[in-house]
Amino acid sequence: MLSGWPPPVLDPAGPFAGPVTTVAWVLFVMGAVVLTLVLFALGVALFGPRRWKRRVAGEKLVWIGGLALPVVVLSGLLVYGLSVTARVADAPRPGEMRVRVTGEMWWWRVAYLDDQGREIVQDANEVHIPAGRPVVLELESADVIHSVWIPRLGGKTDMIPGRRNFMRLQADEPGVYAGQCAEYCGGPHALMGLVVVAHSPADFAAWRLRQAAPAAASTLPGAAVFSSSGCGACHTIRGAEANGLAGPDLTHVGSRQTLGAGILPNNQGTMAGWIADSQGIKPGNRMPSYPVLSGQELREVAAYLDSLK
Amino acid sequence: MRTIGALLLAGVLCAAATACADKAKAPRPLAQADAAQGLALIERHGCAACHAIPGVGWPKGRTGGDLAGVGARPMIAGRLPNQPAVMTAFVRDAPALLPDTGMPPMPLTDAEARDVAAYLYTLDDD
C-alpha cells in the first residue's frame, strides 16, 4: 500500500513516470498562474482605484481573458499532455516483455506472457520486472472498473471490463515499488494494494526460473490441513492437489512481500492472522475467515504456506 | 521442554523473589531494550494482524488478544507468568512455551524480541 509521509508521488523512478510527473507539475504551475491572475483581477475590481477598475471592466477583457486565453492555454496543454503520455500507453512492440494484470475484487491476478501472448506463469498481487527495461502491462478486469497506479513508475491506467489497456513501465533501479487500486471498486477498495519488485537482470532470470517451477512435495503437517480444509477449492498450488481459480495462486506465496493484496507484511504470524480472520482485516473480501481451525492447525497451515518460497 | 521449564522456573523464582514488592508496578524494566524500536518492529512484522495494539492505527486484529494493558496483566495468554524473560521468549517463539497456541513463531532476534517486550510493557494502562 502507499503509505508513509510524504507519500511516494511526484518522485519518479523510471522514464515513464518522469514525463507524467512533469505534466503534473506543468498543469499545477499553469493552474497557479491562472488562479493568481484571476484573483488579482478580482481584487482590482473590488478594491482597486477607479482608474484600474475601468481597465478590468468592459467587453474587451472578457473576449481576451475569458475566451481567447483559455482556448489557447487549454488546447496547448491538451496537445502537450497527450503527446507526452502517448508512448506510455501504446500496444506492446515485438520483443517487449508482457505481463497481464487482471483486476479482481479486491486483488490482482498476474500472468507472465510469451511473445504470442500465451500465459507462461501465474502469480498474484505482485509484478516482478527486470530493472532498466520497459515492460508492458496488459490491463484487464474480471468484474468492475479498477485502476492501476504505481506512482513512482507511471500514471494511472484504468482496467475496464471487456477492454484491454496497456501501460508501459520501467524502473531504473532494482527495488520495491508500491501500487494501489485508484478507482473505487466497492467494499475494501482502499485495501487493494499492489507491489512491483524490480530485479537486476540476473536476479530476474533466477526469479523467473523459481516462479515457473511447481512447489516441491511437502511433508509438513500443514499441507494436509490445507488439503482437508478445502483451501484448494479456491487456490492453486502447482505441484499439490490444489487447483482452484477463484483466489490468488499460492504456489510461491511464501516468497511474496505482502499478504492480502499489498496490505500486510508476509510471515507466519500475519499468514495465521489472515487465514483465521481475513474478514476482520479486510471486511467484505471474498475469502471467508476460518474460525474452525485449532491453534495448532492454524500454525501448521501458516508454516506450510510460508514454506512455499 | 527444557527451555519451557527453565523459563517457567525463572518466572516463578522471579515472582518469589519479589513476593513482597509491588509486582504489577509498570513499566517493568528491560535492560538495554528500546520500546520505540519495539513499536517499529511490531509495525514491520504486522503483529496487528492478530492483535489490537495501542499505538498501531490499523489493523486491529481479533484473532489474538487485545494488547491494551498487557503490561499490567498478571499472566500472558492466561497461562504464563507475565515476567520480562517469559514475555521476551513468548513474542519470539510462542509455541515453544504453549504447544497448542495459535500464535506462530515470529522472525525476531533475541534483541528484537526484547525491544518488542519493552514496548508491550509500556501498555500498562487499561
Domain count, chain A: 2
Residue B125 in any domain: the answer is no
Q: pLDDT digit string (tens) for A124-136? A: 999 999 999 999 9
Question: Chain A contact for B69, CB < 8 A?
Answer: no
DSSP H helices, A48-188, are 50-56, 59-61, 69-85
Consecutive H or E run containing A265:
strand A264-265
The mean pLDDT value for B90-110 works out to: 97
B101 touches chain A (CB under 8 A): yes
pLDDT at A3: 72
pTM of the predicted structure, to 2 decimals: 0.88
Do A235 and A87 sit in the same domain of this protein?
Answer: no
At A230-282, the pLDDT tens digits run 999 999 999 999 999 999 999 999 999 999 999 999 999 999 999 999 999 99
Would residue A240 count as lying in a domain? yes
The whole domain housing A19 covers 1-199
C-alpha distances (whole Å) from A202 to each of A174, A205, A258, B124 are: 11, 5, 23, 50
Distance CA A195, CA A176 (A): 7
Q: Confirm or reject contact between B106 and chain A (CB < 8 A).
A: yes
Q: Is residue B74 part of a domain?
A: yes
CATH number of the domain to which A262 belongs: 2.60.40.420
Q: What pLDDT, on the 0 to 100 scale, is given for residue A266?
A: 97
A280 contacts on B by Cβ (under 8 Å): 59-63
CATH number for B80: 1.10.760.10
| pLDDT per residue as tens digits for the range A88-101 | 888 888 889 999 99
d(CA B27, CA B99): 28
- Judge whether A290 is closer than 8 Å to chain B, CB to CB: no
B9: pLDDT strictly greater than 90: no
Q: Is A270 helix (H, G, I), strand (E, B) or coil?
A: helix
Short-list A136, B93, B68, CA closest to B80: B93
Domain count, chain B: 1
Q: What is the pLDDT of residues A95-124, one digit of tens each?
A: 899 999 999 999 999 999 998 889 999 999
Residue A26 neighbours by CB distance under 10 Å: 14
pLDDT, average across residues B91-104: 97
Nearest CA in chain B to A264: B46
**% of chain B beyond a pLDDT of 90:** 72
* Optimal mutation site among B103, B108, B116, interface A, most CBs of chain A within 10 A: B103
CB contact under 8 A, A269 and B50: yes
Cβ-Cβ contacts under 8 Å, A274 against chain B: 49
Is residue A5 scored above 80 in pLDDT? no
Residue B76 lies in a domain: yes
Residue contact B59–A280, C-beta within 8 A: yes
- DSSP structure string for A10-48: S---STTHHHHHHHHHHHHHHHHHHHHHHHHHHHHHHHS
A276 and chain B in contact, CB less than 8 A: yes
The range of the structural domain enclosing residue B116 comes to 2-19+33-120
User: What pLDDT is recorded for position B19?
Assistant: 46
